[in-house]
Amino acid sequence: MSQRTATEAGLGPAAADDSAAAGPLRAHRRRSPKLIKRTELTILLAPGLILFVGFVFVPIIIAAYYSFFSWGGYGPLGPSVGFKNYSFAFHDLYFIHAIEHTLILTVLSVVIQGPLSIAIALLLNRKFFGRTFLRMVIFAPYVLPPAVTGIMWNLMLQPNGFVDQVMKSLGLGGLVQEWLANASLTLWVNFVVLTWQYIGFGIVLLLAGLQGVPRELKEAASIDGAGPWEVTRRITLPLLAPTIRIWGFITVIGSLQIFDIVWILTGGGPGESSETIAVYLYTKGVQATDYGYASAIAVVLFAFCFVFALLYQRFALRRDMQGALTREVG
Amino acid sequence: MAAIAQTETAGPRGQSTRRRSTSRWTIMPATYLVAIVALGLTIVPLLLVVVNGFRTNADINGNAAGLPNPWVLGNYTAILKSAAFWQLIGNSALVSVVATALVLVLGTMAALALSQYEFKGREFFYNVFVAGLLFPITAAAVPVYLELQRLGLLDNQFGVAIPEAAFGLPLTMIILRPFLRAIPGELREAALVDGASRFRFFVQILLPLAKPALVTVGLLAFVTTWNQYFLPLLVLQTQSHYTLPLGTYMFQTTYSQNVAGIFAYSAMAMLPALGAFVFAERYIVAGAAGAVKG
């Protein structure tokens, strides 16, 4: 592959010079159209492909290799330790907890943000005063740097901070908690802040999907005697399903690798009560300068995403083909 | 459910009109209620950050949920005058501009190859790019760090920009390729028959037509890179190389008692992303929606 690329790249400039000298391009093209096409393709495709493969695929392969070593990150690769990094990880209660926390956040995101976004999108999917403005505002948190979102909520959730004051003035003072210091709450607090940042994306995505549901279908159904609830359940939601499934995919892959907000809001604490896989990777791998171990954790994180993607592709996204067909027919 | 029940008992009018009017009366208040709650929950925290930046620390510590008393500009002017802040902005701009340029140039070239040519393996290459969506940058960050170390790009803004660009390519391909493919092939035939080279056709006809998609792709790459935290955290070690999110967190941990200052700093850190969003909301939202359809 690389050899062929080199030859073609070598031929590329020469061929171009040739054509410039020969005058009209077309004469040259008639001479060797295949070669020209290949050269053009290589020039167009190779740089992007090299960048992409080099920094997206190769790192995971490197990680898989390094995960079998004990290595501090500098100097020659440390002693090979076989599967010890993996077996250590899966015997480390902290790591097991980090996996649990990550999965809890992922499930919460799907189970709570999902229906909530769908309900809000359905309600907002009609003409009303200020709709464009509202859509923009709801989406806005999504474009904030998650690090800044973490800082801002960290300040608001301090004892006697903004959230506590508002609750007290609403007569809910009895419910005030140590939001960031209560180990049984921190995962939920993180989830609420994550929802604040990301739910707008889901809502806007679903609103865009709702634009694709033909109004004639809904009108036809209601003329045939279907009530609004029935129209929603039997017409709108099934046609929205492809969008919902894609939303689910993006949400799960995103939730599995949560780092920024958790790291800044609670630092994974108190104790390790809100540590996610990515936070664990950073504290136990990177900060501990154990890059062999960090690589093993990275491979596990990748495996989670990969297995989920395969299963999702197999069981959920495949149906979108049928959905697309139905939509075309309908 | 309530809507259905009311429909049944509504007055004797034409069926469809009756439904429409009742649903308007039950659903519209709910719509406005949800709209107002959503608006409040989103906007109040954002406003709070900005407004608290105008307060003194004593004022905030006294009452965390009040209006500024007195209003002070000092927090903001201190930031605007600090060289460190502008350095963060400069670093973030450098990283984001380089990453965006790489994504746009290399992504467009690859998308042209995968949309304007017929060749064996085209779908394979496209799927390779799409599969990149499964590779979380968080999982890749450690090996990327080790790779950058080998390339001598550690603690270097390009060490952040280049991998960011690589991770931006899948979304770019998902948005750009369908867009370019949707442009009718007759256009190309016509241009080639008229004697234009393929290159001229790309640059003078195809790319201007693809401008909306290109703007979307560029904005998404820019905002994503601008907001990135984990990769800069690993790669950048010298404080003078930090990007804005990294520097803002640094400010928070260094001056943890200066709450008003942190609010002001956060507000300033939100501003570029929010500003870009307000001006280009259409393109960014189109990108989010486009990613779904592609």
Q: Where are the domains of chain A?
A: 2-66, 88-329
SS3 label, residue A80: strand
What is the pLDDT at residue B2?
37
Residues near A55 by Cβ (< 8 Å), separated by ≥ 6?
B140, B144, B147, B162, B163, B166, B167
Lookup: tokens for A215: 């109004």
CA A22 to chain centre: 52
Q: ∠ CA(B118), CA(A47), CA(B226), 5° rounding? A: 115
Beta-bridge mates of residue A80: A69
Helix ranges (H only) for chain A are 2-22, 25-31, 33-52, 58-66, 84-91, 93-108, 114-124, 131-139, 146-156, 162-169, 186-211, 215-223, 228-231, 237-256, 260-265, 277-280, 291-312, 319-329
Contact A289, A226 (CB under 8 A): no
The backbone torsions φ and ψ at residue A177, rounded to the nearest 5 degrees and listed phi first, read -125, 170
A286 chain-B contacts, CB cut-off 8 A: 142, 145, 234
Assign residue B66 a region (left: φ > 0; alpha: ψ between -120 and 50; beta: otherwise): beta
- Long-range CB contacts (within 8 A, 24+) of B177-186: B177/B111, B177/B114, B177/B115, B177/B126, B177/B294, B178/B293, B178/B294, B179/B210, B179/B213, B179/B290, B180/B111, B180/B112, B180/B115, B180/B116, B180/B206, B180/B210, B180/B213, B181/B115, B183/B209, B183/B210
Residue A57 has pLDDT above 60, yes or no: yes
State how far the Cα of A246 lies from the Cα of A201, in Å rounded to an integer: 12
Contact B34 A56 (CB under 8 A): no
The fold for domain A88-329 equals: MetI-like fold (1.10.3720)
A66 chain-B contacts, CB cut-off 8 A: 143, 146
Contact A123 B110 (CB under 8 A): no
Quickly tell me which residue has 């689910």 as its tokens. A248
Contact B135 A53 (CB under 8 A): no
A78 chain-B contacts, CB cut-off 8 A: none
State how far the Cα of B264 lies from the Cα of B71, in Å rounded to an integer: 13
State how far the Cα of A86 lies from the Cα of A68, in Å rounded to an integer: 8
State how far the Cα of A236 lies from the Cα of A214, in Å rounded to an integer: 9
- Higher-pLDDT residue of A327, A59: A59
Domain boundaries, chain B: 2-52, 75-293
DSSP state of A126: S
What is the pLDDT at residue B15?
45
Give me the half-sphere count of Cα atoms (radius 13 Å) on the Cβ side of residue B201.
19
Residues near A220 by Cβ (< 8 Å), separated by ≥ 6?
none
Q: How confident is the model over A219-263, as pLDDT tens digits? A: 888 888 888 788 888 888 888 888 898 889 889 999 998 999 999
Beta-bridge mates of residue A69: A80
- Does A294 touch chain B if contact means CB atoms closer than 8 Å? yes
The backbone torsions φ and ψ at residue A216, rounded to the nearest 5 degrees and listed phi first, read -60, -40
- To the nearest whole Å, the CA of B24 is away from the closest chain A CA by 10
Q: What is the pLDDT along chain B (294 residues), one digit of tens a residue?
A: 333 333 333 334 444 444 455 555 666 788 888 888 989 999 999 999 999 999 988 888 888 788 888 898 888 999 999 999 999 999 999 999 999 999 999 999 999 999 888 888 888 999 889 888 877 788 888 888 888 888 888 899 999 999 999 999 998 898 888 888 888 878 888 888 887 788 888 888 888 888 888 888 888 889 889 999 999 998 998 889 999 999 999 999 999 888 899 999 999 999 888 888 888 877 777 666 655 443
DSSP state of A129: T
Residues near A313 by Cβ (< 8 Å), separated by ≥ 6?
none
Q: Most A CBs within 10 Å: which of B138, B155, B162, B274, as the mutation test of the A interface?
A: B138
SS3 label, residue B68: coil
Biggest CA pair distance of chain B: 80
Lookup: tokens for A290: 């154990």
Contact A141 B42 (CB under 8 A): yes
Alpha-carbon dihedral sign for residues A136, B54, B89, B257: negative
Give the CATH superfamily of B75-293. MetI-like (1.10.3720.10)
The ipTM, to two decimals, is 0.83
What is the pLDDT at residue B160?
92
